[in-house]
Every structure is written in C-alpha cells, then in structure tokens.
Amino acid sequence: MAESTGAARPTRRTVLKTAAVTAGGAALAPRTAVAAGAGEVAAGPGETAVVTLSVNGKRRAVEVEPRVTLLDALRERLGLTGTKKGCDRGECGACTVLVDGERVKSCLTLAVMRQGSEITTIEGLAQGERLHPVQEAFIRHDAFQCGGCTSGQIMSAVACIDEGHAGSDQEIREWMSGNLCRCACYQNIVAAVADAAKGARS
Amino acid sequence: MTELVGRSVARVDGRAKVTGAAIYAADQPVPDALHGVLVMSTVARGEVLRIDASAALAHPGVVAVLTHRDLPKLVVPHFPYVKRFIPMQGTAVHHVGQPVAIVLATTLEQAQEGAALVSVDYRAEKPSVVIDDAREPAFLPQPFRDRPNEIRRGDAASALREAPVRLEARYSSATRHHNPIEPHTTTARWDGDRVTLFESAQGVLVTRTVVATAFGLPPESVRVVAPYLGGGFGAKGPGWPHTLLTAAAARVARRPVRLVLSRAQMYTSAGHRAEYRQHLRIGATREGRLTAIAETSTAQLTATEDSVFNRSDSTIGLYTCPNLHVRHEGVRLDVASSSYMRSPETTSHFGLETALDELSWQLSIDPLELRRRNHAEFNQETGERLTSKRLLECYAMAAERFGWARRQPRTGATKDGDEYVGWGMATETHTFAAMPSTASVTVGVDGKALAQLATQDIGTGTYTVVTQIVADALGLPLRDVQAQIGDSALPPAGLSAASATIPSISGSVDQAARAARDAVVALAVADRHSPLFGAAPAEIETRDGRLVHLRDRHRHDTYRAVVGRAGEPVRRTATVLNQGGHTYGVVFLEARVHARFGSVRVTRVVTAHDLGRVMNRRTARGQVLGGVTWGIGHALMEHTVFDRNTGRVVNPNLSTYLVPVNADAPPEVETLFVDKPDPASTAMGARGFGETPITGVPAAIGNAIYHATGRRLRDLPITQDKLL
C-alpha cells in the first residue's frame, strides 16, 4: 500500500485563494493592490493589499496578502502580541478582539475584510496606567492562571457586559462559554465579570 | 516573621497578564526570523519513500524545505526527552503526525501554504493504535526511571483466596490530550555554536539539557528563555522533537526560525495520557478492612518506547493493605509517544476509588467510613510512620461542610425535577517531586530586591509566591520585590512539573533572602553613618523597607540608605534540598443526571486538602478550581478518538475533543485547607500540591452517578450515551 499526500489535492487555502482571484477578477501577476474600500480588495497569489484599520484608536495601515487573518495581521505585522493564538480555528476564543464594538474571533476573519474597522485589542483597553474595570476585576478575583486565554476572556467580557449578557451568574456562564480557560478558573471569571458588570450598571 | 506568606496575595504578574504585556515564547520579537511549519506523516507505520518539495519551493516566500537529508545528525537525548528517536533523522515512520519535513518561509502564511504543497510518498503498513487491536499480548515493561513495573507485598494471591469479601472489576479510560491554550512553540537563534531558544517550556533547564545533548554542545552554549507559559499540564515538561527540529532548521538556514505547532499537530507532538485498562481484585474483611489488592493495568505504549507514565501509586500505598500485587503492563501500538499529564495517577486512582465505593455498597458501610477504616498510618512500602499526614482532618472538615451525614444510603432516592441527584466522594492523593534548587536575592542600591532563579510560572503563581517569600524575609513591601524566572541563565532550580515548584524552590528563596537581609543589617551596624552603627545585629528588626532598633526605635535606617551608602548591590545565593512525598485531600460532590437525556451536571463541590503550609490561599484555591474542572473533563467528556484503519486522530481540535467550558464548571466549589506546616519540609513547611486536586474527582463523579441512578459506569469518559 502506498500513499501520496500534498500537492495533488486542493487545500482549503488554495480554494480560498482561487475564490479571491475569481471574485476580484485580478491579474495573476504579483502586484500590490490598494484597497479602495470595504469589499473591494483584490489580489492573487503573492499579491498584497494595504488594509487600513483603526487599532486601539490609532490609524494603522498594514500590507497583507488576502489570506492573512486579522489575528496574524495584529500579531505578526503590527506587533500586537497581546492577542493570543490558541487554535486558529475559532474554537478557543483566545484571539477575541472587538471589531466595531463587537467581539470577534480574530483568527476567523481576514484582515482584508476589516478595511476601515475600529479594532480594540487587549493593549487598548487601559487608559494609560489606569486599568479598565474588567481588567481590574480579573486581578481582584484571580480570574486567570497561565494567562494564555486571558486577553480573549477580557475582551469577551467587555463585550458580554456591553451586550447586556451579564445579568446573572448563570447568564455569564453561558455567554462566556465561547472562551476556553484550560487552567479552568471559570468560577473566578464569572465572579470578575459579575463584579465589573455591577460597576458598569451603577 | 510571616506577614505575606500564606495570605491571599493577588498575583504580582496580574497586570502584565491582563494588559497583554506579558511576553510569551511566540511573542518575543526576533528580527529576521523565518517561519517554520512542519509537514507530518499521514501514515502510522512504514517509511518515507519520496518527498517532492518542488511545488512548495516554487511558492512565493518559501526559502527552504528541509527533510531528513538536510538536517545534521543529532544525538537522541535521554529522559526528560521521552521519545526514543528523533524524527527526520531517517525514513522510518512510527506514528501519524511524525515530522517528515520542515518548510521555512518569510511569512507564516507562506510557510503554511508551502507545507501543504509538499508531496510525500510512503510505504505504509496496517497500523494498530488502540489496545483492542494490539498485535502482541501485553507485557511487563522494564523499570522506567528506576521504578519497577511490578510491585509485590505479602502474598496477594493467598490473601485474596482467603478473603471473606471479594470484589473484582475492570476499569478503563480513553486517550487524553493536555491542550494548553498556548500551542507549543520554539524560536531558535544561533550565534556561532551558541543557541538561544524562546520556548514554551515547563522547565528551561530541561530544554537546555535536551538541546545540548542532541547537538553535542556544553549546556552553557544553550540558553532557554520562557518568562511566561500559556499552560502546559505536563505537555511542556519533557523535551520534544519540534524543539530540536526548529533548532536544527535554524542552524541549516543560518537564520533564526520560529515554529508554532498547530492545534492539530499538538495531538501527535507532545505526549498524551495513554489509553488504559485496569483489572482490580480486592479482598477485605466483613468490617471493610483491606486484606489484598491485585491489580494489573494495561497501557497504550508505542512502537519505540515502553515508558509507563500512569502508575498506580495510590493502589500501592494510599490505604493500609498487607498483601499487594501490582503489575503495570502495556502493549505496543503505532501511536505517538505518551507522557505525563496533569496528575498521571488519576487514571488508576479512578479504578481504586470506584472499587472502594463498590465495596462500601457491598458491605453497607458508608464510603467515607470505609476509607477511614483503611487509613494508612504507615508508609506501606517502607513501614515508616507517616508524620504530618492530615488526611483524617481533611475528611472531617469537608464532610462537615458538605453535609455528608445527611446522605441517603440508597440509590435513586433523590429526584429534583427531571434530574436524579447523587452524592459521591473520593480520597485525593498525589506524589510530588522536589529538585535541588538555587536562588539568588539581590538588594539594589535603590533598596529594592530582585530574586533570580531558573524556575517557571506555569500559571500556578510562582512569581507571586517568590515575591511573598522575599518580601517577608527582608521586610520589604511587595512592590519593592521583583522575581525573575524562566531563563536558563539564572541559578538552577526546580521546574514546573510533578507539583515540584513550591517544594523545590521555597527554601532556597527564603534562605537567600534571609542571607541578604543579614548582610544588609551587617552593613548598617558597621557603618558610622548609620543610626544603627554599633548595634547588635540581633537587635535589628526589618519591616516595610526599614531597619529598626528593637529597643530604641528612634534608631532606624532603610535598605535604600544602607545599600545606597555601600554603593553596590548586596547579593546572596542559597541552595536547599527537599524531598518529594505525598499530598492528600478529599472531594465530596453532588451530581445531577437527567432522567431522559443522560446528561450529567456537577452542581456542588467541597474539597479539603493537606498541603502542609499554604503559601498563598488564592493561588492554592486556583489549583483546586482547575483540578475539579479537569476532573469533570476527565470523567465526562475528554477522549481522543483514533481511526483504527489509518491510525489518525479523528478529533484533533477543540470542537470535537471536548474540554469543559465555563457553563460546564460547577457554580460553587468550596476549597478548605488544613494549613499546618509540615516540619519535614525544607520548603517553609510546604508540600507539592498543584496536581492533587483532580485525582479523586472522576471517581467521585462516577460514585455520585451511581448514588443518583444505581448505574455503575467503569469506562471513562462517562459520555451521555452511556447513561441513556
């Protein structure tokens, strides 16, 4: 029995790439495409697009291939390593950031899809030395151990409170279940979110 | 004088972790680094025939595709490198997910795409990957790390024959994976014959030893840096191939290389808790006193290793039993290497603590009372009296708080709405290690202290506890103490594995800090410019950064002034040895089983533990919270599924390998501690603890399910389908 793997089969990424080429009708020759606005990015293999994002209140232009996720754009191109990669497929929540105020798993969205968006990462939450109330509550309630999921938990918690999904411990448990904590400080995370939500209401 | 040690001090690394400022291994900026992605075997048994890298090399940005032909020959390191071979040194394939090539590219995406474009031809044989499919019968492996796999005491066979009461049962559990949130990662940068690694390591010195051995370098030529670690649970304890392959690739490419394993790759790259079968036979008196235990377990071993990680430590020594025969057997299978996973004893302990519950029903003795009757006052192997063992106190505290006395001694007695409610309990125990550790403490001219040692903070709170110890010993406020750890260039110290951190390092940190304090006091009393000049050192108290004369409190000085006048920092180093041992506790819990759906919820938990002196109540509680939820995952959901035809892991991701989410965790966990220093511990009376509070949870859940429903389930995980 012999087996061959690799080039013979289309991969998810080559399919994605083909789709991007078709949709944009771009030439195959490498070039740099500059995105004019949302949904108008077009590039083929090796081509890049300049995406302008507002990250933590600062306008940042980043030149990326269309296949680059928002997560990798933040970490690998903009040097914002506070956002963590746990699974790269939307299962763990470690990469959660706010996009136009909504919590988004940044590994599941391409940077080119977020042209012009307002992105808030963990680095943008504190006001100078003053921590965000959710950050303070996480320390106060010991709502983390290793810290691997913490950036995502906190960003998710900020949105969870904003959404009005932190009305009871039971509600928090459900609405924070998209963020895995393998150290399993879940009881402390619930306490921190509840505490911060109480502060936000008063 | 103790002011901070033992208190619920907030984590000193908290601010760094909640702001994203903590730099984990893959966050380290390394200019000019290439991204590496591994290509892994898709067959479980056979060999690589041909690797076609042309399509990958044609992909923009791909710099190199390295295979076994390109890498330098490496020496297979001894333990703590657990694998008995290094991949990409030849063509043999021993399991699915064995690295066969590494693609280096300028960007991560290019490297990922390049790896997908590498085409590999294999000669493949039909694999066997689960115990049921083993080609050969189970065998008794050679001792592992000098510990035998067959343990005998008395005459178990005769005692079983003569026992008035006998119980025989088979227990089993599936393969599990650690799944820390931070994937394993290595960034290697060579500078001539010296290499620096930014590594997700539970022990920087482990990685240093493994890399130095593999490359034939003196240890000083290898520096391993890991100031923060995004969880490990044992997966990042030993050395693993991806670290060596990244370092080798960086050497060949003459550029730094960063490699991060994908979540799927983690299921074949860094160990797992082996699939496990256990056949238990117990003999007892009618009063429930154990007279014999005979246990044979079978573990999923690999084609190249026969290391047994899930030893039956609790069967061997937790309870008084004069006659014992334990055999840790295994079968060779074509799977990736197994290893230690958070509290390896949990696997066998589930069987023991379930069997005791079964015995308690058979004899109509309360399960807690049965355990009390078999409480061991003596080490079952050496016969020495166990001093400072406070398990009976744990039983009493937790039973009282839980309300165990109100337990209904019948199954299926309580129903609440659609759910049957049951109570279960189990003893918890863990064998911890201790390693020789050195620490240095420096008081700077600014009056602030810096503790340095090559240990880790895996999330258990090492930074915080080190800071507490130094602050107490010197009499400094917490904010004036800093801990620097996670760098192999620091004084050698114990790692974050085997619950060994606190028992290994606390004594040396404390002694180094006390020596530094005494040195500063000596400076002050010898300094004509100090108000303390001429005082006897014994009359000086240190507190809040000040040195105060005990009898004449107007005479005082400060660390900052004394060391500042001396003009150079005061540095002291200490080395302290400790020994390993056992930590004990108990868990009581309530489980609810849905009458129609078979779903199980753990709704109330009370634990009590004796870990000697509790160094920090909140970080100790954190270990209990984590352990309880890990126990829930172990009992009810986690299992790695293999395709028996191909040998591949079917569920190498977090949407099909289920771990507990927030809503799965019990809303309430009461964590009680005896909190009395162990006089035999040189770690300020503390014992190793982190892995203790998971060990009893799976059995306690199974026992509660039995109490709720009358159904005894002996195969883990107890997924919903098994209760329908």
Q: Are B211 and B80 contained in the same domain?
A: yes
- Alpha carbons within 13 angstroms on the beta-carbon side of residue B189 total 15
Q: Are B283 and B420 contained in the same domain?
A: yes
Q: If you average pLDDT over residues B378-403, what whole number do you get? A: 96
pLDDT of residue B553: 95
Q: How far is it, in rounded angstroms, from Cα B699 to Cα B714? A: 9
pLDDT of residue B566: 97
Q: Is the peptide bond before B492 cis (omega within 30 degrees of 0)?
A: no
Contact B515, B574 (CB under 8 A): yes
What band does A201 get if pLDDT is binned at 50, 70 and 90? confident
Residue B381 designated active-site: no
pLDDT of residue B419: 98
CATH number, domain at B44? 3.30.365.10
Closest approach of A120 to chain B, Cα-based (Å) = 12
pLDDT of residue A12: 42
pLDDT of residue B159: 98
Mean pLDDT score of chain B, rounded to an integer? 97
Q: Are B204 and B80 contained in the same domain?
A: yes
Which residue of chain B comes nearest to A126, CA vs CA? B19
- Residues of chain B numbered 55-74 and touching chain A (CB < 8 Å): 55, 59-61
Q: Which residues of A touch B664 (CB under 8 A)?
A: 177, 186
Q: Are B428 and B441 contained in the same domain?
A: no
Q: Is residue B379 part of a domain?
A: yes
Q: Is residue B144 part of a domain?
A: no
Closest CA to B90 of B138, B134, B58, B46: B46
Q: Which residues of B touch A176 (CB under 8 A)?
A: 662
Q: Is residue B54 part of a domain?
A: yes
Taking an 8 Å cut-off on Cβ atoms, the answer to whether B20 and A182 are in contact is: no
> Which structural domain range is residue B341 located in?
276-433+580-723
Taking an 8 Å cut-off on Cβ atoms, the answer to whether A5 and B42 are in contact is: yes
Q: Is residue B139 part of a domain?
A: no
Q: Rounded to whole angstroms, what are the CA distances from B226 to B202, B469, B681?
A: 8, 22, 28
Instruction: Give the H/E segment covering residue B328.
Output: strand B323-333
Q: Which two tokens stand for residue B577?
A: 């040895």
How do residues B166-183 score in pLDDT, each as one tens digit? 999 999 999 999 999 999
What are the φ and ψ backbone dihedral angles of A175, each rounded to 5 degrees? -80, -5
If one counts the domains in chain B, the total is: 3
The answer, yes or no, to whether residue A95 has pLDDT greater than 50, is: yes
Q: Is residue B154 part of a domain?
A: no
Domain range A133-201, CATH architecture:
Orthogonal Bundle (1.10)
Q: How far is it, in rounded angstroms, from Cα B212 to Cα B670? A: 45
Residue A25's CB: how many other CB atoms inside 10 A? 7
Q: How far is it, in rounded angstroms, from Cα A79 to Cα B26? A: 11
pLDDT of residue A44: 56
Question: Which 3 state secondary structure label does DSSP give B539?
Answer: helix
Q: Are B484 and B631 contained in the same domain?
A: no
Q: Are B372 and B484 contained in the same domain?
A: no
The answer, yes or no, to whether residue A26 has pLDDT greater than 60, is: no
What band does B387 get if pLDDT is binned at 50, 70 and 90? confident
The answer, yes or no, to whether residue A41 has pLDDT greater than 70, is: no
Last residue of a domain, one of B269, B294, B324: B269
Q: Are B605 and B617 contained in the same domain?
A: yes
pLDDT of residue A10: 43
Q: If you average pLDDT over residues B18-39, what whole number do you get? A: 98
Q: Are B649 and B615 contained in the same domain?
A: yes
pLDDT of residue B2: 55
Beta pairing class for B481-484 and B449-452: parallel
Q: Is residue B619 part of a domain?
A: yes
Domain residue ranges of chain A, discontinuous segments joined by +: 34-124, 133-201
How do residues B599-644 score in pLDDT, each as one tens digit? 999 999 999 999 999 999 999 999 999 999 999 999 999 999 999 9
The answer, yes or no, to whether residue A8 has pLDDT greater than 50, is: no
What band does A202 get if pLDDT is binned at 50, 70 and 90? confident
Question: Which 3 state secondary structure label does DSSP give B419?
Answer: strand
Q: Is residue B133 part of a domain?
A: no
Q: If you average pLDDT over residues B229-255, what whole number do you get? A: 98
Q: Which residues of B touch A7 (CB under 8 A)?
A: 52, 55, 117-119
Q: Are B263 and B294 contained in the same domain?
A: no
Q: How far is it, in rounded angstroms, from Cα B472 to Cα B601? A: 43
Closest approach of B620 to chain A, Cα-based (Å) = 11
Q: Are B480 and B381 contained in the same domain?
A: no
CA–centroid distance for A91 within its chain: 12
Q: Is residue B64 part of a domain?
A: yes
- Residue of B305, B329, B428, B691 marked active site: B691
What band does A35 get if pLDDT is binned at 50, 70 and 90? very low
How do residues B346-369 score in pLDDT, each as one tens digit? 999 999 999 999 999 999 999 999
How do residues B487-505 score in pLDDT, each as one tens digit? 999 999 999 999 999 999 9
Q: How far is it, in rounded angstroms, from Cα B217 to Cα B223? A: 11
Q: Are B566 and B497 contained in the same domain?
A: yes
Q: Which residues of A touch B107 (CB under 8 A)?
A: 65, 68, 76
Question: Which 3 state secondary structure label does DSSP give B213?
Answer: helix
Taking an 8 Å cut-off on Cβ atoms, the answer to whether A186 and B121 are in contact is: no
What band does A62 get if pLDDT is binned at 50, 70 and 90? very high
Which residue of chain B comes nearest to A145, CA vs CA? B459
What does the DSSP 8-state code read for residue B667? S
pLDDT of residue B3: 86
How do residues B408-425 score in pLDDT, each as one tens digit? 999 999 999 999 999 999
The answer, yes or no, to whether residue A148 has pLDDT greater than 70, is: yes
- Match domain A34-124 to its CATH number in 3.90.1150.220, 3.40.50.300, 3.10.20.30, 1.10.3720.10: 3.10.20.30
Q: Are B397 and B356 contained in the same domain?
A: yes
Q: How far is it, in rounded angstroms, from Cα B605 to Cα B630? A: 13
pLDDT of residue A181: 98
